[in-house]
Structure 1
Amino acid sequence: MAPARYRGTTFSFFNGILIGNGRTQTVFGGAVNYERLILSEESCWTGGPHEYSSYWGGNVPKDQAGPKQEALARVQQALAEKRILKPSVPFLKDVMGDEEGFGRQVGVVGEIVVEEVDLRESVWGYRREVDLERGIARVQYSVGKTLYSREQFCSYPDAVCILRIQSPTPRSINIRVSLSTPHSTTTAEYTNIHNRLGFKSHLDSNNLTIEAQVAVTTEGATGISLATSPQQIVLLGFDAVTLYYTFGTGWTASAFPEFTNLDPHERLVGVLDKAVIGWYGDLVAKHLSDYGELFSRFRVEFGDASQDQGTVRNTLTTDQLVARSARGTLPADEETYLETLLVQYSRYLLIASSRPGSLPVTGNGIWASNDNIHASISSKFGMNVELQMQYWMAETTDLGETVTPLIDYMEQLLQPRGQDTASLFYKARGWTTHPFSNIWAHTGPLSDTSAKNTFYFPAAAAWLCQHLWDRYVYSQDDKFLKDRAYKLMKGASLFWMDTLVKDRGNGSLLSSPSQSPGHGPFTEGSALDQQLVFQLWNRTLEAAISVVNEKDKAFVQELTGKLANLSSGLKVGSWGQLQEWHLDLDEPGERIAHLGPLYAVYPGDQIYQQEQQQGPGMQADGEEEPTMQELVEAAKVSLRSRGAGSLSDDGNGYEQGWSRTWRAVTWARVNDGHQAYQALYTFKRQNLVSPNLVPLSLSDLSGHVGFGAAVIEMIVQSPRSGDVNVLTCFEGLPERWAKQGRVNGYRTRDGHVVGVEWKDRRVESVEVYAALRKGLVNLRVATLMADGKGVEAITVVMKGSKKPVPFVKDGDILRFTVNKGSTYLVSVDQVEQ
């Protein structure tokens, strides 16, 4: 992948380069004569117990639990009788939570400014880029015959960010380095000792400690360093200057629930001490080894492999790419480059913002709040799609380690506080959480219905548990399942075992009260709630069977009995749609951003294309169960009704970036490549407008991940364990994609690593490395006999051996068994008749 490049003369958030190492992120941007580094730290939040002393994470004191439970019972009784309640019904306010102390992610800790002492006007060859392959940002330019360069990266192994400024011309570096914070500016304490700048300050709202430290090292014996103020160092006549900086807050997850404000000073100084005594080249090498090992695992390419390392050569800077793509005037090869760049850029941002030891990624991304601490944007963990969406590409593109912060967050904060929510609000076992949370472990409902009526969504925990199960199946780590995932899944299942109600008509188990996120009334059993609980219970039962012991037999028996009576949330409505509610309430043509009832298609796996169709069965509610093909067709009807995601569907502006790319990946899962690409095309035209590929609507950062997930899903899918589908969207793929391409490093739900190559809309080879387990592979090669003009000669061999591997061909499905540790090569040659 060639570096992403763009030019800029003045700094703004939208042309800065985003870099990070998990917990800390920087926007690196400026011009010839200065660089501005905006420092963002994920735990820089207002709110919490220090701002609101009676903070209980949105819950209520024990002496108020009774009234809350009674209020919930009244709402459930009303729904049992009336079936529908408008969100404006007054007594719904009685089930709301306490939002005091929720706060928001400020993000910004401070900033570093590097200024040239001598202004330079006759500059040529200015170039700014981030190399996605190496995770390093660079600036390069020349003044006369003197070349200047700046190299910037954030190292995860050393927990430090580094900016190196140098020139091959001796004594040519003359700069001023300053450090500042926008918080408590009158009381902030600055230090400047032996080329080290630092500050310690506090957030005005909750007194949370924030601190940054910058160590400046120089090369060149004749240079001079001057401490001109407590916040500034001037460096004159050096060959090179290197800035090592780190920053943090007094927050730590281990301090739950009081969240004691711990002084970060010793930790930060220790990080710098270790960094500055090392050799710069060693720090770079460790960063490249760590980052490169992750990033290089996966690649998607379209075009001739002989050009530019497997993809078309890009000749435009990123700002030109974005502008011409938005106008629809970008040449086809450059458009293809932009699309593959977006896939890898999504992975780059995930690596930069979610590493073991950090918090998970907020829906907006930590960079969203970093140019103005008083911005109206409220970053938070949105758990009715945004947080989950940030990790949609993690497992399939072999970045499973980046999911660790989400699992830690669930385990350390949501589950312990969520037990209080389950007990106090619902008088239930287990744990739950609602649609929005923060670093202070907010698990109760919100207290405001103004945000599209999304104050209530206890199924958030069930959705989060999907990532636990995915982490298990992609890693095949039985220890993780037994020691961590199962406990969280069991607790989330217990909550629903105690809170579901019986439908008065047929006795099936339904959630109540229930609302489809951002849309419609309160009722019983929204499709999203039911699908999430159905998926959670089935996977928890599967996990229990794997790790069951004597004490859990009673739980397994109880869960099995309740699962038999649970409505799955899969119902086909009166106009052929996939119903959004248990009742047939859908109105055709409603333009809704959220795809609640289509969760079962993606990211769930209850609805999927299959070759063999089963006969109708019976659902828990006694109704005839739709066939899988009927469900697939109903999903398509609902997608078209809600707006397919194309430009023509967005006349009222209801769409957002995340909703467009969610539509795209869902269309891909039902094998409609044309509609999937139309949604991606719309995302590019309306959401990518800035040189650093960040949308102007910052809440749409998660849409980048959806874009990458959709591109990948259009090429290769693993909807269920054992199944691998290749080029199932080939009939709708853009010609420039379908003509030639390859995917390497795709992970399946069995932990296999898959590579695919195709040419002229036909799969030529598939490679399957059984990295973690043995088993049967059902490989669907959708291009077999695609045009009926020839006969395919198919061979399956173990790589390194000419001995054929037995396989069974069933239509376009090839079935063969793989052994752990072996690689299998499937070759498809077309023989003309």
Structure 2
Amino acid sequence: MLLEQFCSYPDGVCIFRIQSSAPRSINIKVSLSTSPYTNTTTTEYTNIHNRLAFISHLESNNLTIEAQVAIKTEGASGISLATSPRQLLLMGFDTVTLYYAFGTGWSANAFPGFLNIDPHERLMGVLDKAVTGWYGDLVAKHLSDYAGLFSRFQLEFGDDQEAATLKNTLTTDQLVARNVKGTLPSEEETYLEVLLVQYSRYLLISLSRPGSLPLTGNSIWASDDNIGDALSFGMNADLQMRYWMAEATDLGETVIPLIDYMEQLLQPRGQDTASLLYNARGWTTQPFSNIWAHTGPLSDTSAKDTFYFPAAAAWLCQHVWDRYLYSQDDKFLKERAYKLMKGASMFWMDTLVKDRGNGSLLTSPSQSPGHGPFTEGSALDQQLIFQLWNHTLEAAATSAVNDKDKAFVQELTEKLRNLSRGLKVGSWGQLQEWSLDLDEPGERVAHLGPLYAAYPGDQIYLQQQYQQQGQQERKQVSGEDDEEEDVSMEDLIEAARVSLRSRGASGYRSEGNGFEQGWSQTWRAAAWARLNDGRQATQALTLFKRQNLASPNLLPLSLKDLAGHVGFGAAVIEMLVQSPRPGDVNVMTCFEGLSERWAKRGRVSGVRTRDGYLVSVAWKERRVRTVEVVAAGGKRGSNLNLRIATLMGESQRENKVEVITVVMKASKKPVPVQFVKEGDVVRFSVAKGQTYVVSVDLLDQ
């Protein structure tokens, strides 16, 4: 018996095909039933010409729910019997193919009234087209669509040919079971790690495509009452984290549903929230929303650590700005991104208060998600607003937006000069979580709010070529009396490390659930990677694998923790190739802490940067050998600062000299290079449309 099942994005249909190894041997019963929950009205079933369907409605708002299953059989001697309006009996067939689709009357375009748009005709059309087509054509179209996205990025670890074809003799459930026990052979463990990175990309491709809602939890696989909470969007880390690796692994299309959701639902409803609750311009949203565009605080304040977080909109706008940077799409910036960013900026321009001490602008009231008291100016709030305002001004200065917003730009610039950046070092050397020094060492807190500036933000960075630029930025935006002005980047870097070490490697164990917070572990891994500590990053990823991979199909144990899986992929990419800012690419900065399995030999290709470039890296024996840069997305010629961690560093060997050459791939023409910071940064000019190959050779003196 051969079973095939897939869901086709281009055809909008799921297909399940059964082929018998013996003639006329398929005998099956096909039935259709509604949700097991009691929140629907009476359901109407139909069974006409080998097509089962039901139509039901939600009790709360009469929203239409419809499902259809069309059955196509092969084998002239088979018999189909409709045994009830909801069941079909099939006997004696060679092949049976089920085509099924599901729809509701919900539509984002119907906001604010949320009209109930009957899905019946749309579903009929989808199934009619699928059933009358050739099965092979449907498969081919599906594979072409999926592979066109999935094949853009590749990751390989291992020796010689093993890097390309890692061997694994275990089934997935065996792989997971032995991983939990820590008994996986080295080769299989490496296979699992690469599988998890690509599995994260599979989830993005399968669950977040243009026309869909943003990536939810794994509630679409749920079958009992724990589905409810997972249908909401948590926007104090969870929703954002689910997209952390999308752009870097060249899956920018999967971010479009998130931006559509912001534009069609959160922004228009969030304007009402800003006006009615805060008497402010612009828009905002609180940490939990849903398909009905809830943007206010939760009414259930028993969730005292998570019900209030108006900076969620500022965080979401980071993905909007990144979509522009990675795509370099001026039209997108002008028509969509800038409007969202400007609106989110205006809200904070109207709602910040002055610090009673130095007069800097702070959020009030403010709470660090999942932790601690209400106060003023939590680090996460301030870091997010600082980043949002800077990026909004950058957007306003581009030729795409032009200078029509002079009054807004002037007002925002003045406000930015007085904004607290949320970067203070506390009494025990930590990066403060609040404007006041309230942190206690050793607290096991899952959320890494004050560490946002290190990752996924870019306010804390190690590269010395940034230091002078960063100091100048702080002088431009800080008030004269701002105590943050006196904190050096070296102090902030060390404070970030102190805070990460204090909070532990794995976060905390959730009450009653019996599992560690997977999203917290992988966020820690990514933050350690940005701080170039491969050992700590590897430790956090290892804990994630041991504690959060127990289901035989790799899905998370918690319906809310899909972010942890996607975060795993984001952390691995950050350990290999970093693009913290346009114009800068850091390669293998975590080499020193990588496991021998990873560092001995490998290759990563198809990593997209914040200039729109594509980067591939090959390494061997803990040394980068080649870096290829495809200048696909940049608008014009510019300088690229390429930091290769092994240059002039721990890999320097006696009586050896490194020879670095950069050539245009097509012509083999050498490109002039400049070495910065004792040689580990290679700077060269990049022209749009060209491919550059950087070769690193170690030669005898």
Give the TM-score taking structure 2 as reference length: 0.94
2:683 matched residue in structure 1: 815
* Count of matched residue positions in the alignment of Structure 1 and Structure 2: 683
AA aligned to 2:91 is L
Residue 653 of structure 1 and its aligned partner are, at CA, apart by: 7.6
Residue 548 of structure 1 and its aligned partner are, at CA, apart by: 4.3
CA contact (8 A) 1:391 1:403 kept: yes
Matched, 1:441 2:305: no
Cα distance in 2 between the residues matched to 1:426 and 1:697: 35
1:82 matched residue in structure 2: none
Matched, 1:775 2:635: no
Matched, 1:544 2:408: no
Residue 489 of structure 1 and its aligned partner are, at CA, apart by: 0.5
Write the deviation string for residues 369-410 of structure 1: whole angstroms up to 9, x where unpaired.
x21146564431000000000100100000000000000000
Residue 206 of structure 1 and its aligned partner are, at CA, apart by: 3.2
1:667 matched residue in structure 2: 528
1:397 matched residue in structure 2: 249
Residue 461 of structure 1 and its aligned partner are, at CA, apart by: 0.4
Aligned CA distance change for structure 1 residues 791 and 549 (closer, same or farther; 3 Å): closer
Instruction: Output aligned runs, 1:495-644, within 5 Å.
Output: 495-546=347-398, 547-549=400-402, 551-612=404-465, 613-614=467-468, 619-620=478-479, 621-623=481-483, 624-644=485-505
Aligned CA distance change for structure 1 residues 386 and 238 (closer, same or farther; 3 Å): same
Matched, 1:687 2:532: no
Q: Which has the higher contact order (CA 8 A, sep 6+)?
A: 1
Matched, 1:338 2:199: no
CA contact (8 A) 1:305 1:311 kept: no
Aligned CA distance change for structure 1 residues 676 and 311 (closer, same or farther; 3 Å): farther
Write the deviation string for residues 57-106 of structure 1: whole angstroms up to 9, x where unpaired.
xxxxxxxxxxxxxxxxxxxxxxxxxxxxxxxxxxxxxxxxxxxxxxxxxx
Aligned CA distance change for structure 1 residues 688 and 173 (closer, same or farther; 3 Å): same
Write the deviation string for residues 444-472 of structure 1: whole angstroms up to 9, x where unpaired.
11122222421111100000000000000
1:304 matched residue in structure 2: 159
Residue 712 of structure 1 and its aligned partner are, at CA, apart by: 0.9
Residue 217 of structure 1 and its aligned partner are, at CA, apart by: 0.7
CA contact (8 A) 1:805 1:816 kept: yes
Q: Which runs of 5+ in 1 are unaligned?
A: 1-147
1:828 matched residue in structure 2: 696
Cα distance in 1 between the residues matched to 2:516 and 2:34: 37
Residue 274 of structure 1 and its aligned partner are, at CA, apart by: 1.1
Residue 588 of structure 1 and its aligned partner are, at CA, apart by: 1.0
1:121 matched residue in structure 2: none
Matched, 1:422 2:422: no
SS in 2 for 1:434: coil
Residue 667 of structure 1 and its aligned partner are, at CA, apart by: 0.5
Matched, 1:204 2:68: no
Cα distance in 1 between the residues matched to 2:599 and 2:60: 55
Residue 572 of structure 1 and its aligned partner are, at CA, apart by: 1.2
Write the deviation string for residues 201-248 of structure 1: whole angstroms up to 9, x where unpaired.
122343321110011111122222111211111222222111111011
Cα distance in 2 between the residues matched to 1:649 and 1:225: 51
Higher mean alpha-carbon deviation, 170-179 vs 511-520, is at: 170-179
Cα distance in 2 between the residues matched to 1:161 and 1:660: 34
Instruction: Output aligned runs, 1:784-823, within 5 Å.
Output: 784-785=647-648, 786-789=650-653, 790-810=656-676, 811-823=679-691
Residue 304 of structure 1 and its aligned partner are, at CA, apart by: 3.1
Percent sequence identity over aligned pairs: 75
Residue 728 of structure 1 and its aligned partner are, at CA, apart by: 0.2
Cα distance in 1 between the residues matched to 2:83 and 2:657: 79
Cα distance in 1 between the residues matched to 2:200 and 2:74: 36
SS in 2 for 1:351: helix
CA contact (8 A) 1:643 1:649 kept: no
Instruction: Output aligned runs, 1:461-500, within 5 Å.
Output: 461-500=313-352
Picking from 657, 674, 697, the partner of 2:558 is 697
Higher mean alpha-carbon deviation, 274-283 vs 550-559, is at: 550-559
CA contact (8 A) 1:593 1:655 kept: no
AA aligned to 1:815 is R
Picking from 210, 217, 224, the partner of 1:356 is 210
Aligned-residue CA RMSD (Å): 2.0
1:164 matched residue in structure 2: 17
Cα distance in 2 between the residues matched to 1:450 and 1:716: 42
AA aligned to 1:808 is Q
Aligned CA distance change for structure 1 residues 358 and 576 (closer, same or farther; 3 Å): same
Write the deviation string for residues 152-189 of structure 1: whole angstroms up to 9, x where unpaired.
01001010001111134322222211111135688211
Give the TM-score taking structure 1 as reference length: 0.80
Cα distance in 2 between the residues matched to 1:622 and 1:646: 32
1:29 matched residue in structure 2: none
Q: Which runs of 5+ in 2 are unaligned?
A: none
Cα distance in 1 between the residues matched to 2:438 and 2:334: 41
CA contact (8 A) 1:211 1:249 kept: yes
Cα distance in 2 between the residues matched to 1:716 and 1:557: 37
2:146 matched residue in structure 1: 291
Instruction: Output aligned runs, 1:37-116, within 5 Å.
Output: none
SS in 1 for 2:69: strand
Cα distance in 2 between the residues matched to 1:407 and 1:205: 28
CA contact (8 A) 2:433 2:439 kept: yes
Cα distance in 2 between the residues matched to 1:421 and 1:205: 23
SS in 2 for 1:827: strand
CA contact (8 A) 1:302 1:311 kept: no
Cα distance in 2 between the residues matched to 1:504 and 1:715: 44
CA contact (8 A) 2:639 2:684 kept: yes
Instruction: Output aligned runs, 1:402-417, within 5 Å.
Output: 402-417=254-269
Write the deviation string for residues 123-170 of structure 1: whole angstroms up to 9, x where unpaired.
xxxxxxxxxxxxxxxxxxxxxxxxx11100100101000111113432
Following TM superposition, where does structure 1 have runs of at least 4 consecutive aligned residues deviating by more than 6 angstroms? 646-650
AA aligned to 2:357 is G
